[in-house]
Structure 1
Amino acid sequence: MNNVLLNIDGPIATICLDNPDKHNSLAGSDIEQFIAHLNQVEQSPEVRALIITSSEGKTFCAGASLTEMGSGNLSGEIFERLTNRLAAVQIPTICAMNGSAYGGGSEIGLCCDFRIGIKGMRLFVPASRFGLCYPLNGIQRYVHKLGPDTAKRLLIASEEFHGESLLALGYLTHLVEPEEINEKARSMAEGICRLGPIAVRTMKTLCDQAAAGILDQEAATLMINHCNQSNDLQEGLAAAREKRTPVFSGN
């Protein structure tokens, strides 16, 4: 069964988790499918923004399948392959969390640049409730994105948070009514697609590297110079002078 769907509509790609009967939990085959879709998105030069969402239901994603983990068919290392791949996507990523998120589902959100949640959603990480230690890369991602105190509340204490608290803690970047989330995600993606793609990709990379403390000044300067010598910059400046919308080519 195809539980992870990919749709490419011009410059916007959408990956949709489509297994609501199992709270959109991910089995090993689903993870492989998810990674294959991410690879296809990055091999499509026309795509400038990616939305991650789920089919209609109460749960955005319940993380890795507990059934497969219990049987030994799925490990934390396999799930790490997915989260690391998603975090490495070069174009901007928007997670439209149209339901509650549990365990690895909350980490999928953290791998994205923007996280839109809905009022009434819940989020918690149940690993310690099962006596399970969360994967190392995931622990680092929670600490890196949210700080050690919030990471400990989620991972060690397995606290449950709701929409407004998730926004206040910085987990969510946006919070909307449930019926508004699809439009919000689409409008954000469309707005990003109108921007200079080289500048967007360059600044995403440099923001991530700076936050992780791995910024190479020499390499960063080369990236900035490449962006500032691009045809896109000349097009953007010309469009500003001529009071028209720029048409960026990505070179």
Structure 2
Amino acid sequence: MPDALPPPNPALGTDKMLLRKEGGVGWMIFNNPERHNAVSMEMWVAAERILADFAADPAIRVVVVTGAGGKAFVSGADISKFESERSSKEAVDAYQVQTAKVYDALADFTKPTVAAIRGHCIGGGSALAVCCDMRICTERSSFGIPAAKLGLGYPLKGIRRLVEIVGPSFAKELFFTAKRFSAEDARVMGLVNRVVPDDALEATIGDYASTIAGNAPLTVDSVKAIVREALKPEPDEALCARLVAECFASEDYIEGRRAFMEKRPPQFQGR
């Protein structure tokens, strides 16, 4: 993880969302620690811009999503903004449309995404984490979806993403009880890939991100797309076959073979 937070980027329109790029890794950092990284409308808008920037940058091969301050990943919507941002049907609809844009952009992102979770991962934070390919958390992290305590409804897409990860029974438990679950609970459910000691998150995320960024992008991205197709009742087999063929026809395939024979790290270019 970054040793220090990057300075605010004026192009994002808010200092509550930060963008950082290093070593092929793009970092999207929710920076509202005084409110446990609760998310406002302006933060969702900025998040959409950050993801678009990463998607358009060929140097970025993996994206890490995390929260600042050490106490929370994302704790959900910023309730202090409800009166100004979600007090009317029109405002609620606009908020829902914007959050859906970010969730969809992250879930459909063509490059690998990793959620680095420390502390609370609640409500919209859980929904955000579920949109990532992998989730790695600390032992003291906690998870919950308190919709049933707030009278909120969750759309099909969000529930489907959760069900694909934890299965229908655990998805129902999360929603029905609205309880707070521990990191170990999340691991048992399959909600997170790894639980690491509190002081090991930075090193673990750094290792995972750099390893993924150093692997062949065409292979990694093709597997991500093919896994998505594998979950569909009727996968696009022609697309999957084309992605595999593109890997074998790439310069990276040649580089990978040569590097193996020469016993050196490969230098993949994504072509």
Q: TM-score, normalised by structure 1?
A: 0.95
Q: Output the amino acid matched with 2:33.
A: P
Distance 1:98 1:121 in 2: 5
Match of 1:132 in 2: 152
Match of 1:90 in 2: 110
| 1:182 CA drift (Å) | 1.3
Match of 2:250 in 1: 230
Match of 1:218 in 2: 238
Match of 1:52 in 2: 65
Task: Kindly indicate whether residue 87 of structure 2 is the aligned counterpart of residue 71 of structure 1.
Answer: yes
* CA shift in 2, pair 1:118/1:247, >3 Å: same
Q: RMSD of aligned C-alpha atoms?
A: 1.4
**10, 13, 28: which is aligned to 2:26?**
13
Match of 2:269 in 1: 249
* CA shift in 2, pair 1:214/1:180, >3 Å: farther
Deviations 1:151-173 (A, max 9, x none): 11111221321011111110010
User: Does the residue aligned with 1:41 lie in a helix, a strand or coil?
Assistant: helix
Q: Say if 1:7 and 1:15, in contact at 8 Å, map to a contact too.
A: yes
Q: Say if 2:23 and 2:210, in contact at 8 Å, map to a contact too.
A: no
Q: Say if 2:72 and 2:118, in contact at 8 Å, map to a contact too.
A: yes
Deviations 1:165-200 (A, max 9, x none): 111110010101111111111110001111111101
Match of 2:8 in 1: none
| 1:214 CA drift (Å) | 4.7
Distance 1:166 1:217 in 2: 33
Give the % identical residues: 28
Distance 1:135 1:198 in 2: 32
Match of 2:136 in 1: 116
Task: Kindly indicate whether residue 24 of structure 2 is the aligned counterpart of residue 4 of structure 1.
Answer: no
Match of 1:104 in 2: 124
Distance 2:259 2:166 in 1: 39
Q: Output the amino acid matched with 1:126.
A: P
Task: Kindly indicate whether residue 191 of structure 2 is the aligned counterpart of residue 175 of structure 1.
Answer: no
Mean CA deviation greater in 68-77 or 146-155: 68-77
Match of 2:224 in 1: 204
Deviations 1:46-68 (A, max 9, x none): 11111111112322111222343
Deviations 1:77-118 (A, max 9, x none): 321111111111111111000111110101111111110111
Q: Say if 1:80 and 1:137, in contact at 8 Å, map to a contact too.
A: no
User: Does the residue aligned with 2:206 lie in a helix, a strand or coil?
Assistant: helix
Q: Say if 1:53 and 1:60, in contact at 8 Å, map to a contact too.
A: yes
Distance 1:211 1:117 in 2: 25
Distance 2:189 2:232 in 1: 19
Q: TM-score, normalised by structure 2?
A: 0.89
User: Does the residue aligned with 1:184 lie in a helix, a strand or coil?
Assistant: helix
Mean CA deviation greater in 115-124 or 154-163: 154-163
Distance 2:234 2:124 in 1: 25
Distance 1:131 1:163 in 2: 25
Mean CA deviation greater in 149-158 or 68-77: 68-77
* CA shift in 2, pair 1:220/1:62, >3 Å: same
